[in-house]
Amino acid sequence: MATLDSIKKNLLEQVADIHEIPTGAYSIRVNGKLFGKNDSENIAIVAKTDKQGIDIYVKPGTKNESLHIPVLLAQSGLKELVYNDFHIGEDSDITIVAGCGIHNGGKETSEHSGIHAFYLGKNARVRYIEKHYGEGDGNGKNVMNPTTVADLAEGAYMEMETAQIKGVDSTNRKTKATLADKATLIVREKIMTHGVQRAETHFEVDLNGVDCGTHVISRSVARDNSTQLFVSHVNGNNVCSGHTECDAIIMDGASVSAVPEIMANHPDASLIHEAAIGKIAGEQLIKLMTLGLTEKEAEEQIIGGFLK
Amino acid sequence: MLELQNVWFSAPAENGGKSEILKNISLKISERFVAITGPNGSGKSTLAKIVAGIITPTSGRVLLDGEDITELSVTERAKRGISFAFQQPVRFKGLTVKDLISLAAGEKLSVAAACAYLSEVGLCAKEYVNREINASLSGGELKRIEIAEILARATKLSIFDEPEAGIDLWSFNNLIKVFEKMHEKTHGSILIISHQERILNIADRVIMVKDGEIAADGTKEDVLPKLFGTMVGCRFTEGN
């Protein structure tokens, strides 16, 4: 296999916390093409023939395996739409590390749109980690629009951790999930926007099964003149529990809108929504300054902790 | 040594005028344990915050070891060796107990090192070290964690604003031992704002502030009898 240059290695490290091609199952996409892939005994990766993307098949009963599927774009002006479907077998337990890194050194907009569909079998467990990162010294915009659709069968469990901390000019994340009996979906989203960046996230969770539940938790920091929109709809259609929370720190001339909505369509649906937007409390800054930190250092510690 | 020279502090009053919170306070503090006491609203906490740099005096000077620190920021005073434990500890989303104790110590502490400080204040360290400093912790737990931070800082002047408020019997009984240990380590001064008779009883010196002025200043044997006589009807209870 060809090797990655330093720019792409850095992107790989940023989005997947790895320095080299990973061991085990992986599929790495670079500049709009499949760069390399590897199956494991229990995880098969098959390139789609009708459109860009892959199908991933995890055998039932697969335990403690990981799958890396990072996407790296280092060519200014490249726009791609990729479809990845994950078929997670019953009783399996795996970690999936996804993510997209863009290095845009040109003037044109680079854009990656990924549509991920998850089909979790009965009692399957998935930890899905997705980081978005952008960089580049050109004026070209970095755009990422991920869509996640998750279908959780009875007893399935999915934990979704998404982070977008730096360098993405525009993002519109859409997540839609459907839960069967005793299924659980946990979403932890972390976003920080700078400059005039725009981040939108939309969640829609249908709690259809008996005793299913979800927590959709978003923490964000909006700096400079950036704007953010958080929208979530949790629909309790059975005996279920749902919680959606947006907690945002707003700074400078930024703007944040949070719209957490819950809808109970069953008398035994227990749903909670929370939203809080505010600047860093003065007393928090003072407290850390009494420990010897400067105001700037205190601010960074508070933000770093908040998004940790 | 801490010195306050002719410190005044005024704040806007409800009637549109000014309210004098502190009136011409002059003090020199070099003793091991110094307690500042007095009725609610007498200006004790304001005085402590002026020393830490959280509040700027309207006039007067604050000196630490002869250096005029009146114009220095909270950060600069902290770096010169002033620690401050808040009456109502601050909560943080995301920062853990270990994070805060590490920041206090000025270095990234190991779990074992952070646990050692927590054990000093009677917290079962393993249960706390990775917990967030958020609403899941009680006021008493936060107070103890705050004291652990001051232990980790080990500075020449440690200020505690009502350390007994909200803490349980264990904490109170051991608080004095913690103060003694702190002094052994730093050989500095510990300045405690308190209403608590048991804390006043361990002080080498008791300063009573009333209506923004020093009403009494001396050993506990000198001041406490006056205090009990003066504070009838004021808050002066055991354990709050």
CATH number, residue B149: 3.40.50.300
Distance from CA of A262 to the nearest CA of B (A): 24
CB pairs under 8 A between A and B: 60
Name chain B contacts of A294, Cβ cutoff 8 Å: 75
Q: Which of A219, A283, A290 is nearest residue B84 as measured by Cβ atoms?
A: A290
- The single-letter code of the amino acid at A22 is P
Distance from CA of B69 to the nearest CA of A (A): 14
At B238 the pLDDT is 40
Name chain B contacts of A304, Cβ cutoff 8 Å: 94
- From chain A residues 180-239, the ones with a CB under 8 A of any chain B CB are 219
Q: Is B237 inside a domain boundary?
A: no
Distances (CA, A) of A267 to A179, A233, A238, A239, B168: 18, 18, 8, 8, 43
Is the CB of A293 less than 8 angstroms away from the CB of B103? yes
At B230 the pLDDT is 57
Question: Chain-wide mean pLDDT for chain B?
Answer: 89
Distance from CA of A124 to the nearest CA of B (A): 29
At B170 the pLDDT is 61
At B232 the pLDDT is 42
Distances (CA, A) of A220 to A177, A216, B131, B156: 22, 13, 21, 39
At B198 the pLDDT is 83
Q: Which of B54, B73, B104 is nearest residue A291 as measured by Cβ atoms?
A: B104
Name chain A contacts of B90, Cβ cutoff 8 Å: 281, 283-284, 286-287
Rounded distance between C-alpha atoms, residue B133 and residue A191, angstroms? 21
Structure tokens at A69: 């599927």
Domain count, chain B: 1
Distance from CA of A220 to the nearest CA of B (A): 12
Distance from CA of B180 to the nearest CA of A (A): 21
Could you write out the three-class secondary structure of chain A?
Answer: CCCCCHHHHHHHHHHHCCCCCCCCEEEEEECCEEEEEECCCCEEEEECCCCCEEEEEECCCCEEEEEECCEEECCCCCEEEEEEEEEECCCCEEEEECCEEEECCCCCCEEEEEEEEEEECCCCEEEEEEEEEEECCCCCCEEECCEEEEEECCCCEEEEEEEEEECCCEEEEEEEEEECCCCEEEEEEEEEECCCCEEEEEEEEEECCCCEEEEEEEEEEECCCCEEEEEEEEEECCCEEEEEEEEEEECCCCEEEEEEEEEECCCCEEEEEEEEEECCCHHHHHHHHCCCCCHHHHHHHHHHHHCC
Is the CB of A291 less than 8 angstroms away from the CB of B153? yes
Q: Which residue has the tokens 């344990």?
A: B33
Instruction: Name every residue in B having a CB less than 8 A away from some CB of A.
Output: 52, 54, 73-75, 78-79, 82-84, 86, 89-90, 92-96, 99-100, 103-104, 106, 149, 153
Residues B185-205: tens digit of each pLDDT: 888 999 999 988 888 888 999
Domain that holds residue B168: 2-230
Say whether B66 sits in a helix, a strand or coil. coil
Distance from CA of B198 to the nearest CA of A (A): 27
Q: Is B74 inside a domain boundary?
A: yes
A276 touches chain B (CB under 8 A): no
As a whole number, mean pLDDT of residues B161-184 equals 80
Is the CB of B94 less than 8 angstroms away from the CB of A306? yes
Structure tokens at A26: 């992986």
Is the CB of A219 less than 8 angstroms away from the CB of B78? no
Nearest residue of A to residue B134, measured between CA atoms? A306
Q: Is B167 inside a domain boundary?
A: yes
Structure tokens at A52: 């860009």
Q: What is the pLDDT along chain A (308 residues), one digit of tens a residue?
A: 567 888 888 888 888 888 777 788 999 999 999 898 999 999 999 999 999 999 999 999 999 999 999 999 998 899 999 999 999 999 999 999 998 999 998 999 999 999 999 999 999 999 999 999 999 887 899 999 999 999 999 999 999 999 998 999 999 999 999 999 999 999 999 999 999 999 999 999 999 999 999 999 999 999 999 999 999 999 999 999 999 999 999 999 999 999 999 999 999 999 999 999 999 999 999 999 999 999 999 999 999 999 98
Task: Give the max Cα distance, chain A.
Answer: 61
Residues B113-151: tens digit of each pLDDT: 999 999 988 887 788 889 999 888 988 889 889 999 999
Q: Is B57 inside a domain boundary?
A: yes
- The single-letter code of the amino acid at A129 is I
pTM beyond 0.90: no
Give the whole-number percent of chain B exceeding pLDDT 90: 63
Nearest to A118 by CA among A164, A178, A65, A52: A178
- In which band, very low, low, confident or very high, does the pLDDT at B235 lie, cut at 50, 70 and 90? very low
The residue of B73, B92, B149 whose CB has the most chain A CBs within 10 angstroms, and thus the best one to mutate to test that interface, is: B92
- In which band, very low, low, confident or very high, does the pLDDT at B229 lie, cut at 50, 70 and 90? low
As a whole number, mean pLDDT of residues B30-36 equals 94
Is the CB of residue B165 less than 8 Å from the CB of residue B138? no
Q: Is B151 inside a domain boundary?
A: yes
Nearest to B25 by CA among B204, B158, B217, B212: B212
At B171 the pLDDT is 66
Nearest residue of B to residue A296, measured between CA atoms? B75
Selected residue with higher pLDDT from B152 and B174:
B152
Nearest residue of B to residue A295, measured between CA atoms? B75
At B234 the pLDDT is 44
Name chain A contacts of B145, Cβ cutoff 8 Å: none
Q: Is B38 inside a domain boundary?
A: yes
**Residue B240 reports pLDDT greater than 50:** no
A255 touches chain B (CB under 8 A): no
